[in-house]
Structures are given as C-alpha cells and as structure tokens.
Amino acid sequence: MRSFRQFKYLTVATAAAAAFSVSVQAETLRLLTWGGYAPQDVVEQFEKETGIEVKITLSNNEDMISKLRATRGSGFDLAQPSQDRIVSAQADFDIYKPMDMSKIETAQIIPSMLAATEKNTQFEGEVYGVPHVWGTSGLIVNRKAAGTIKDYTDLCDDSLSGSVSYRLKRPTLIGFAFALGEDPFAAYGDTEKYQAILDKVEKKLTECKPNVKAYWSGGDALLNLMRSGEVSAAMAWDAGGWKLNAENPDIAFVAPSSGALGWIDTFVLPRKTKAEEAAYKWINFVMQPEVAARITESAGNFTAAKGSDEFVNDTLKAQFKESFPQADLDNINWYPPVPAGLEEMEGKVLDRVKAAN
C-alpha cells in the first residue's frame, strides 16, 4: 500500500512537472518550406538568440497548398509558396492570413522585389506575401553531349533521342509555350486563347515524347540522371545546374533564348498560425544580409535580402554571371499570379501528354 501511495505521489509529481515544462517550454515555429531554405546552422543561431524552437517540414508548392487546405490553414505557423500561387489558393480555399507589413523590417529587402511581391500577392486589398528566395527554371545541359541546346524546344531535337528529361508540370507547359513563340502570361486572362496555346504545346510535347528518358519529379532524381550521364539535357532549376557544374564543369545551367522562367518564393502566414510573432521574428532574422547569404549557400539560389551578395562565395557568383549575362537577366519571364481555374486546363493537357504513345 505504501509503495502504491509513493507511486501515486510520483505520478502526480511527474504530471505536474510535465504540465509546468509545457507552460514554460519555448515557443515553437512550425515552418513549411523548401529543402535548403532553413539550413541547420541558421536554425541553431535563431534558436539560441530567440529561444524559439523551429520545426521544419519540407514541401513544394502543390503540397503546401494541399496540406493547408486539408487543415483549413492550421498545423503550420509560416509557409513559403511561390508568389504566383498565393492569390488563387487564397481565393479558393481561404488558407492564409494577411501580412502585417509594419512588423517586417522592409529596409532589409530589395525594394523592387518587395514591390513586385506586394502587387502579386494582393487579395481583396490585403498583402499576403513577403519575398524570400528567387531563382529561375531553364536548361541544364551537358555541353559535351548536347552543346547545341539553346531553347526548350531544342530538347526535341532528333540527336537527343532518349536522353532528355523534364517535369510533367506547369513550368514545362509555360516554357514550351514561350519557346514556340507564344506569350502564355499575356493570355492568362483569356481562357480561349490560353487553350489554343495549350493545344499547340500539347502537340509539341507529344511529338517530343520519344526523346524523353523519364519525366523527373524529385530534384535529386534528376541530378542523379544528369550526373550518371543517362540524361544529357533537361529542363530544371538553376540551383541544380550550378550544383552539378561544381562537380562536373561540362554540365552547365543555360538560360533559354526565349527566356528563363523566374519565380520568387515568399513567406506567407497560414490562417490559423499559432506563433505569428515568432514568424515575423524568423522573417526578419533570415533577411539579415549575412544570414541570407548562408541560405543562398545551402539552397543555391539568391535571396531578396539587400546586400547579401557580398557574403556569397565567389563560385556561385561566377556561375550566376556565366548563366545570366545582362541580356539573359533582362529576358527572364517572371510568373504573374495564376488565375483560378487555369490549372485544371493545364492538368488535362498534362494527363493527355502522359497517356500519349
């Protein structure tokens, strides 16, 4: 009996201690982000300085929206979708919360990017996004095997039969549309015209199918295909190309002649965020030039933080210059916000391309 009573006291004591520890335990910030955007050393420094624990979930654009849609905007305190995918998701699913720009140290952010994101993520008069990391999609080319590749449609060249890879996702449709001489962004508001462009792209992608080794879906899978030489040209992100270039100088990222596709990943508050203050702290923390440079090193892409270029290593800067001479930099096609309903049309095209023989 005595031992039982002791046990009882012990249980009560442990329970109390547990409850207490929960109440004094540090705040946590649940971050829904991309691989490389929250490197370990940055997280550790943030935890040390603020006492806020950071929990990271890696994701991509579609997955972020789906996750937040399933929980109606809860489960995470800060998310990082691309700026063009915010308004339509907010219109359809109401999963985000407007940003309080007065809590952001806007002086740390490159003004043109801040303005562009502010404009593109506005819904019913409120701003939802703050720019973080930006980059492009273009071509990764093995110059020994496929030196002639200049544009997306060159991937369909007969000489590259069976050694090409791209994704079956919307950037591929957009890229091919530009390479075919169309301007899909200008047709965003005109469903009929957009469908006509999509039909043209569908035809091209179907013709191009014999050239494709495999449609890639994960970035690492593509890097492996390029590394092993099984694929000699691919449509992919610039950071992947620079990573491969560092390992093998023959492989390089090339900005296509019809223009690389520019994206900006942002910070957005999920509607039921539980650590809003912590989220603002994190944004202001990672936008410091020196911290932003460390994120650039880990993600391979540059950030919207003012003056962080100075802290970035020379290899990456040289690679960037080589891939983007000034003319190519001006030629980048930046994604405007996607109107709701467009992705359904694109989905049908992608399905048909996949099923075509």
Binding-residue pattern over the window 94 to 133 for another protein, x denoting contact by CB under 8 A: x---------------------------------------
CA angle, 137 as apex, 193 and 188 as ends, to 5°?
20
Whose CA is closest to 98, among 65, 124, 75?
124
Which among 16-24, 30-38, 57-65, 153-161 is the span making contact with another protein, rule CB under 8 A? 57-65
214 near another protein (CB under 8 A): yes
75 near another protein (CB under 8 A): no
CA–CA gap between residue 124 and residue 340 (Å, rounded): 15
Round to the nearest angstrom and report the end-to-end CA distance of the chain: 78
Which among 8-16, 60-68, 279-287, 328-336 is the span making contact with another protein, rule CB under 8 A? 60-68
212, 255, 299, 349: which one binds another protein (CB under 8 A): 212
- Torsion angle, CA of 163/166/168/169, rounded to 10 degrees? 180
150, 209, 272, 274: which one binds another protein (CB under 8 A): 209
By rule CB under 8 A, what count of residues binds another protein?
30
351 near another protein (CB under 8 A): yes
CA–CA gap between residue 251 and residue 247 (Å, rounded): 9
Q: Say which amino acid occupies 162.
A: G
* Rg of the chain in Å (alpha carbons): 23
229 near another protein (CB under 8 A): yes
143, 213, 271, 274: which one binds another protein (CB under 8 A): 213
355 near another protein (CB under 8 A): yes
203 near another protein (CB under 8 A): no
Which among 1-9, 21-29, 85-93, 281-289 is the span making contact with another protein, rule CB under 8 A? 85-93
CA–CA gap between residue 338 and residue 84 (Å, rounded): 6
310 near another protein (CB under 8 A): no
352 near another protein (CB under 8 A): yes
Burial class (CB in 10 A: 0-12, 13-18, 19+), 215: middle
Cα-based distances in Å from 17 to 6, 23, 53, 287:
16, 10, 20, 38
Which among 107-115, 194-202, 205-213, 318-326 is the span making contact with another protein, rule CB under 8 A? 205-213
Three-state SS for 287-340 is CCHHHHHHHHHHHCCEECECCHHHHCCHHHHHHHHHHCCHHHHHCCEECCCCCC
Between 193 and 209, whose beta carbon lies closer to another protein?
209
143 near another protein (CB under 8 A): no
44 near another protein (CB under 8 A): no
Count other Cβ atoms within 10 Å, centred on residue 257: 17
Which among 50-58, 126-134, 328-336, 341-349 is the span making contact with another protein, rule CB under 8 A? 341-349
**Pairing state of beta strands 261-267 and 333-334?**
parallel
Between 290 and 351, whose beta carbon lies closer to another protein?
351
- Judged by the rule CB under 8 A, the positions of this chain that interact with another protein are 62-63, 65-66, 69, 89, 91-94, 162, 169, 209, 212-215, 217, 228-230, 340, 343-344, 347, 351-352, 354-355, 357
